[in-house]
Amino acid sequence: MKRLPLHFDIEAQQGEARTGVLTTRRGLIETPVFMPIGTAGTVKGIRFEELESSELDAKIILGNTYHLWLRPGIDVIRSAGGLHRFIGWDRALLTDSGGFQVWSLGALRKITEDGTEFRSHVDGSLRFLSPEVSMEVQAALGSDIVMVFDECAPGEASHAEAERSMNLTARWAKRSRTAFDQLQKTGADTGQLEVDELSGSQALFGIIQGASHLDLRRNSLEQTINIGFDGYAIGGLSVGEEKSVMFEIIDEIAPRMPKESPRYLMGVGTPEDLVEAVARGIDMFDCVLPTRNGRTGQAFTSTGKLNIKNAQWATDSRPLDELCPCSVCRRHSRAYLRHLYMSGEMLASILLTHHNLAFFLDTMRGVRQSIRSGDFPTFRREFTGRLGANGE
Ligand SMILES: [Zn+2]
């Protein structure tokens, strides 16, 4: 039997929501899973020991192809033996393709059939990213899951504009697949591992685009499935469209995605978005919110968002979240965290980031347990019900 880069086994399902185990060459990942973002080879504000601790136990993190390619560059990472060794992280890594970051540069980029030309935000040099270059960079990084190089249309893109972009993404997906397969044969993947039952190679995920047009999304899904990937992602959401539009697309697309493959919703979202997307059949998530908002003084709690800057917390001896078992909530008060934040102490960002990640990862643990025990609808109702309590 042909060995594959991944195995995905669904253990329980309730409605569209499912829980299972994704077996990668760097360990087992229980799904649904939240993946913290490690843009430049670091999950900002937290050490890997803490991410690995039983309290957080993040099984997989993200790396950004665009950022790592520009700095420190793939020669540095190749000479270290790949991204895992370079950063000191032995668990699974997923890298995005750089498509979204380049798209975010807006006017600074030029898109052609070949790829995207843009100016580096690091040194202003002119750079060119294409499906082939992205696959080469991701092979040098040696991530365990590679994303195809795609183009993202803005949420409010017209049908014609979104269609052009979606078809370009499909052609780029085909080129990504070809370049990726070639690179696996030539041993370019620095993360190759001998593993029982698996091929030990990188896995490649396809991305469904089409902005907010359902017919284009369905067309994109079909073209992506026809090429064939180890997993499938929905991209181009959370880019300015209404929330209702986002859920309409997930409702339409997720149940049509291959059932036996992991389904990844890229760049989404808040804790309630995660739970709602799980209810629609999504297995994997990534988002900057817990880390980025942690640095700007915002905590995610079981009763909603909490802004630590608010004067009302100045003498509040309660933890950030009274239901949270994390080490920050066990030890520190809102008053102390507010004091740290107002004094510009770096520990404020570190502690808020820790709590936020604990909250996201715990939420997913609760989601998995509830699907296994057949209580997901109750979990979803109670979780969403509590969130409004802060009134923020
Ligand atoms: Zn906490």
Of all helices (H) and strands (E), which one includes residue 234?
strand 231-234
Distance 20 CA to ligand 1 centre (A): 26
Distance 289 CA to ligand 1 centre (A): 15
Distance 270 CA to ligand 1 centre (A): 16
- Joined tokens for residue 237: 């959401």
Of all helices (H) and strands (E), which one includes residue 306?
strand 304-307
CB environment 128-154: b (16+ within 10 A), e (fewer): ebbbbbbbbbbbbbbbbbbbbbbbbbb
Distance 328 CA to ligand 1 centre (A): 5
What is the structure's pLDDT at 101?
86
DSSP state of 364: H
The stretches in the chain having pLDDT less than 50 are none
Q: Which residues form the catalytic set?
A: 96, 286
What is the structure's pLDDT at 240?
81
| Three-state secondary structure of 168-201 | HHHHHHHHHHHHHHHHHHCCCCCCCCCCCCECCC
Q: What is the rounded CA–CA span in Å between residue 30 and residue 24?
A: 11
- Joined tokens for residue 128: 């060119």
Q: What is the rounded CA–CA span in Å between residue 344 and residue 335?
A: 14
What is the structure's pLDDT at 142?
98
What is the structure's pLDDT at 152?
87
What is the structure's pLDDT at 109?
86
Distance 259 CA to ligand 1 centre (A): 34
Residue pair 148/97 in contact by the 8 Å Cβ criterion: yes
DSSP state of 198: B
Distance 331 CA to ligand 1 centre (A): 9
Helix axes 243-253, 214-227, angle to 10 degrees: 40
Distance 348 CA to ligand 1 centre (A): 13
Distance 279 CA to ligand 1 centre (A): 25
What is the structure's pLDDT at 361?
98
Q: What is the rounded CA–CA span in Å between residue 40 and residue 364?
A: 25
